[in-house]
Amino acid sequence: MSGAVNPVQFLPIVSKGTIVPLSGTLVPAGFPSPAADDLEDEIDPIAWVVRHPSATFWWRVSGDSLVDEGIHDGDLIAVDRAGKRRVGRIVLALVDGEVTVKKLAKREGRLWLDPKSRGRDFAPILVTESTEIWGVVAGIVRRYEVG
């Protein structure tokens, strides 16, 4: 930690209730399967991620300490303050005045905030009495280049 205080800045996300078609065919991430054109349902992607709208806030990730968990620099994360803070979940916490997102772990009876990024030099953070766990990551949104 650098000791500098990061001001808490919530990203305003306005859900317009956009419903998009959802294919009834699962997309294999391994071997390809024959394509199907049928649509099974419709979905509001934001509502699918956000289970507790009044308790969910969006944050932009800075850094790459959770790439092994599929969370990358620049991703948007939905943090649910009503979510259950359990070992094994990704949480957003305030540590020494700085906001961080890490995986909650327990070792030798103590809670830790673990980075999950093999080959990089990130140290686990011991959860102390002054650590505030603000919420649980409920989902991520990542945007790719398309043009």
Catalytically active residues are: 65, 102
Q: Which residues have a Cβ under 8 Å from the Cβ of 25 and sit 6 or more positions away?
A: 33, 35, 36, 38, 40
Q: Which residues have a Cβ under 8 Å from the Cβ of 80 and sit 6 or more positions away?
A: 50, 51, 52, 55, 56, 135, 136, 137, 138
Which of 145, 135, 144 has its CA nearest to residue 8?
Answer: 135
CA pair distance 52, 107, nearest whole angstrom: 30
Which of 24, 46, 45, 20 has its CA nearest to residue 36?
Answer: 24
67 Ramachandran zone, left/alpha/beta (phi>0; psi -120 to 50) = alpha
